A and B are shown apart, each in its own frame.
Chain A
Amino acid sequence: MTQPHPTPSPWPTLSALNIGRARVLGCLLLGLATGSGVRAAGWSDADWALAVPSARSTSLIEIRQGSDLSGRMRGLKGQGFESSGGDRVDFAAWYSTRWTDVRIAWMTQLTRDTGLIWGVGTGEQGVKYRISPSFKLGLIHQARLGRRTTFTLRATTTLGGRLRERPCTADYGDIGGVQAVNCRLAASELEPTETLRYLFNDTARDQRQVSVLFSHAF
Chain B
Amino acid sequence: MKHPATLAMALCGALGATAVFAQDGEATIDTALAASAATPGWMSTEVGDAWTKGYKGQGVTITVVDDFRSASLLNGKLGTASQRLRHGQWTAMEAGMIAPLASVATQDFTSGTAVKLSKGLNVLNLSYGMMAAAGYSASQIRWSAQENSIITYAKNGTAVISKAAGNDGIAVLGRNARGQTDYLNLALKGAPTAIYVGALNTNGTKAAPATLASYSNTAGTDTAVQKQFLVVGVEGAQTGLYGTSFAAPVITGYAAVLGSKFTKATPVQITNQLLNTARQDTIKGYKVQLHGRGEASLTRALAPVTIR
CA distance A168 to B303 in the complex (A): 13
Q: Contact mask A163-189 → B, CB, 8 Å, 1/0?
A: 000001111111110000101001111
Interface presence of B163 (CB below 8 A): no
Q: Contact mask A78-118 → B, CB, 8 Å, 1/0?
A: 00011111100100000000000000000000000000000
- Of B50, B56, B273, B307, the contact of A170 (CB 8 Å cutoff): B307
- Which of B124-132, B146-154, B257-265 is the contact stretch? B257-265
Whether A175 contacts B263 by the Cβ 8 Å rule is no
Residue numbers in B under 8 Å from A173 (CB-CB):
273, 304-305
Interface presence of B155 (CB below 8 A): no
Of chain B, the residue at the smallest CB distance from A195 is B261
Instruction: Report the minimum CB–CB distance from B291 to chain A (whole Å).
Output: 17
Interface presence of B2 (CB below 8 A): no
Interface centre among B50, B56, B305 (most CB of A within 10 A): B305
Q: A86-B279, A175-B262, A175-B273 are in contact. Are A187 and B303 (CB under 8 A)?
A: yes
Whether B55 contacts A83 by the Cβ 8 Å rule is no
Interface presence of A28 (CB below 8 A): no
Instruction: Report the minimum CB–CB distance from B277 to chain A (whole Å).
Output: 5
Interface presence of A206 (CB below 8 A): no
Q: A84-B277, A175-B262, A175-B269 are in contact. Are A170 and B257 (CB under 8 A)?
A: no
Interface centre among A81, A171, A175, A187 (most CB of B within 10 A): A175
Q: Contact mask A145-160 → B, CB, 8 Å, 1/0?
A: 0000000000000000
Across the A-B interface, the 8 shortest Cβ-Cβ residue pairs: A170-B304, A187-B303, A170-B307, A189-B50, A175-B273, A175-B269, A189-B55, A173-B305
Within 8 A of A (CB), among B268-308: 269-270, 272-273, 276-277, 279, 281, 299-308
Interface presence of B3 (CB below 8 A): no
Interface centre among A89, A173, A183, A189 (most CB of B within 10 A): A189
Interface presence of B53 (CB below 8 A): yes
Whether A171 contacts B262 by the Cβ 8 Å rule is no
Q: Contact mask B51-72 → A, CB, 8 Å, 1/0?
A: 0010110000000000000000
Whether A83 contacts B53 by the Cβ 8 Å rule is no
Instruction: Report the minimum CB–CB distance from A51 to chain B (whole Å).
Output: 54
Q: A174-B269, A175-B265 are in contact. Are A188 and B50 (CB under 8 A)?
A: yes
Q: A175-B272, A189-B56 are in contact. Are A84 and B303 (CB under 8 A)?
A: yes
Q: A81-B299, A176-B265 are in contact. Are A189 and B304 (CB under 8 A)?
A: no
Number of contact residues on A: which range applies? 20 to 34
Whether B302 contacts A86 by the Cβ 8 Å rule is no
Whether B307 contacts A183 by the Cβ 8 Å rule is yes
CA distance A168 to B304 in the complex (A): 11
- Of A84, A86, A174, the contact of B304 (CB 8 Å cutoff): A84
Whether A85 contacts B305 by the Cβ 8 Å rule is yes
Interface presence of A190 (CB below 8 A): yes
Instruction: Report the minimum CB–CB distance from B204 to chain A (whole Å).
Output: 14
- Of B260, B272, B281, the contact of A189 (CB 8 Å cutoff): B260
Residue numbers in A under 8 Å from B56 (CB-CB):
189
6 additional A-B pairs beyond A168-B307, A172-B304, A191-B263, beta carbons within 8 Å, are: A83-B303, A170-B307, A175-B270, A176-B264, A186-B303, A186-B307
Whether A82 contacts B303 by the Cβ 8 Å rule is yes
Instruction: Report the minimum CB–CB distance from B34 to chain A (whole Å).
Output: 17
Whether B307 contacts A169 by the Cβ 8 Å rule is yes
CA distance A186 to B279 in the complex (A): 20
Residue numbers in A under 8 Å from B264 (CB-CB):
176
Whether B265 contacts A86 by the Cβ 8 Å rule is no
Of chain A, the residue at the smallest CB distance from B276 is A84
20 pairs across A/B with beta carbons < 8 Å? A83-B304, A84-B277, A84-B300, A86-B300, A170-B307, A171-B304, A171-B305, A171-B306, A173-B273, A174-B269, A175-B272, A175-B273, A176-B265, A181-B307, A186-B303, A187-B303, A188-B302, A189-B56, A190-B261, A191-B261
Whether A172 contacts B299 by the Cβ 8 Å rule is no
Of chain A, the residue at the smallest CB distance from B206 is A86
Of chain B, the residue at the smallest CB distance from A172 is B304
Whether B307 contacts A89 by the Cβ 8 Å rule is yes
- Of B257, B261, B301, B303, the contact of A81 (CB 8 Å cutoff): B303
Instruction: Report the minimum CB–CB distance from A91 to chain B (whole Å).
Output: 11
